[in-house]
Amino acid sequence: MNGETILRCSKCGAKNRVLISKLSSNPKCGKCGETLSYPDGAVSISEVDMGKEVMEETLPTVVDFWAPWCGPCRMMGPVLEEIAREYSGRVKVVKINSDDNPGLSLKYKIQGIPTLILFRDGKEVDRLIGAAPKEQVLQFLRLYPVAG
């Protein structure tokens, strides 16, 4: 990673290039002056939010398809939350409950959970299927300069 990230302003939609070292100083949008925000943990969404939270997102976004009854999914939850906090402002982690959002599971051809899909600029670039340790998830992210 080159030490920068791009954050979209939630007010005006402008893309803002921000030094990662400056994320903690509440950077402002260069166009409208609004404080730029980004999640500091995993974000749970539904089908209604997919466009804004994933397809229009400027940060590389990992979408976790999971279900509350799934043991491996529950094991992955804390790992993904930790990654979301550690790489806040550089990667976004989104959680989608497959049981509550069957249309998204069908659209993305989810055949087993947990399934992680990595999106960049609204396009799927890779998948990781099944439970994986943190190191493997970070390796998955390193393939597309996000983490590390």
Q: What is the maximal distance between C-alpha atoms in the chain?
A: 45
Catalytic residue among 12, 29, 32, 70: 70
* SS3 call for 32: coil
Q: pLDDT digit string (tens) for 17-58?
A: 998 888 888 899 999 999 988 888 999 999 999 998 999 988
Residue-range domains of the chain with CATH:
1-37 (2.30.30.380), 38-142 (3.40.30.10)
Q: pLDDT digit string (tens) for 4-21?
A: 888 888 889 899 999 888
Q: Provide the pLDDT for residue 1.
A: 44
70 catalytic? Reply is yes
32 catalytic? Reply is no
pTM tops 0.75: yes
Q: Which residues of 72-85 are buried (b: 16+ CB within 10 A; e: fewer)?
A: ebeebbebbeebbe
CA 75 to chain centre: 18
